[in-house]
Amino acid sequence: MGSTITEKILAKHSGRKKVVPGDLVNAEIDVIMCHDVTTTPAIDMLEERSIDKVCDPKKIVVMPDHFIPNKDIKSAEMVAKIRRWVKKHNIENFYDLGRHGVCHALLPEQGHVTPGKTIICGDSHTSTHGALGAFSTGVGSTDLAAAIATGELWFKVPETILFNLTGKLPFGVYSKDIILYIINRIGVDGALYKSMEFKGSVIDELTIESRMTICNMAIEAGGKAGLINPDQKTIDYVKSRTNDEFELFSSDEDAKYEKVYDIDVSKLEPIVAFPSLPSNGKKVSKITENITVDQAYLGSCTNGRIEDLRVAAQILKGKKIASETRMIVVPATTEIWKQANKEGLLDIFMDAGATVSTPTCGACLGGHMGILAAGEKCISSTNRNFIGRMGSPKSEVYLGSPATVAASAIEGKITDPRKYLLVT
């Protein structure tokens, strides 16, 4: 019996030849990513217990992102504490304001993700990095503190669900639509405690960035991780970002899966997830009601990368967003911001009447930089539409692809993006 990529990486990192689902392992952690919100309590926990050492400063990558630029005094104190901690422990990988970005976009961009690594962060969307063939999972502050101190963490080896995606992705349908479709099909706890593995000709065709969008939202189906077996695209991407050596792990042909979904994407449409669960996806052609939007939000660790901005700019070029709608564009990292500026995308957004912000998690989680009032609706390229997620508990968030967000901004209501993509 073969093993899945998840089992192979966990076996390697716990010094075992083979592990099977259910095994409790203590795995070595290669990358410990730290952002502002969950790291500050972890630092306190360690200091309260007089644990004054970090396992290895080189393993730790620190990037405040949730409430930056500091949204208030309390947030400022949090980041100030992190700065002191980084200095004290000689942590070199520190991305402060000016080099900043949303952690899950920044980590791979800056070459910290290589295939076969184990990665943790005090953030549920850490599943993103499985797109490069790593085992990457979100944890809380206590786990984060334990990993910082010991360089290890306990895991129950999860079962794996395989999603085999075949067919041809239709025009105007993106990886965001694929993952919204999958979450709709299996539910927000459809992969609870499980590792989700994505493969097939559709995945092969996707860019690395599009793959990240899919793995990013594995947690929205309850998944522990979302992984894609590395291929030449992975190797090329990683080698363009780092000189570090890495080992490739892939699932065996005869690996044991808890379940296999064969999905033909040929008839897929743009999907919009209605409030208040990411699983409330509807095909855009089936939306008969007029859903006016007060805000269109393009950004986040799910869809704030350069290819997302390019698609939105293609739709918005020479157009104006609706007079009753405001649009906020948040490039996910400083590098993406600069690249978008170089390509003229930021001008396109601002000429259309949108505003462009500095990278931040910001309004995606209702922090700052675009909070919704009671009764307001937002079409968003982000990952969650829970009650109160982007502001007032009486506001509503609809999730869609960057193309859907851009088209909806133009019309001031939730709109099928395909008609705007046809016009050249």
Instruction: Annotate each residue in 379-408 with x if it binds another protein (CB under 8 A) or - if it does not, as one string.
Output: -----x-xxxx---x---------------
Q: Are 314 and 345 in contact (CB under 8 A)?
A: no
State the angle between helix axes of 208-216 and 306-316 in degrees (0 to 180), rounded to the nearest 10.
Answer: 100
The secondary structure of residue 274, as a DSSP letter, is: P
3-state secondary structure at position 276: coil
**Which of 21, 55, 89, 188 lies at the binding interface for another protein (CB under 8 A)?**
188
Say how many residues touch another protein, by CB under 8 A.
48
**Which of 49, 58, 267, 338 lies at the binding interface for another protein (CB under 8 A)?**
49
For residue 145, what is the enclosing H or E element?
helix 141-150
Touching another protein, residues 327-366 (CB under 8 A): 365-366
User: Does 262 contact another protein by CB under 8 A?
Assistant: no
Nearer to another protein, 193 or 324 (CB): 193
What is the number of H-type helices and E-type strands within the chain? 15, 17
User: Does 41 contact another protein by CB under 8 A?
Assistant: yes
User: Does 24 contact another protein by CB under 8 A?
Assistant: yes
**Which of 52, 80, 92, 154 lies at the binding interface for another protein (CB under 8 A)?**
154
For residue 155, what is the enclosing H or E element?
strand 152-156
User: Does 139 contact another protein by CB under 8 A?
Assistant: yes
Binding segment (CB under 8 A) for another protein, from list 6-14, 122-130, 196-204, 282-290: 122-130
For residue 147, what is the enclosing H or E element?
helix 141-150
User: Does 129 contact another protein by CB under 8 A?
Assistant: no
CA dihedral 410, 413, 419, 424 (to 10 degrees): 10
The sign of the CA dihedral 66, 196, 396, 387 is: negative
Phi, psi at 394, each rounded to 5°: -100, 10
- Give CA–CA dist 325/411, Å, rounded: 9
CB of residue 161 vs another protein: minimum separation in angstroms?
Answer: 14
Nearer to another protein, 35 or 418 (CB): 35
3-state secondary structure at position 69: coil
Q: In the complex, which residues of this chain contact another protein (CB under 8 A)? A: 24, 37-38, 40-41, 44-46, 49, 51, 66-67, 71-72, 74-75, 78, 122-124, 126, 138-143, 145-146, 149-150, 154, 188-189, 192-193, 222, 224, 277, 365-367, 384, 386-389, 393
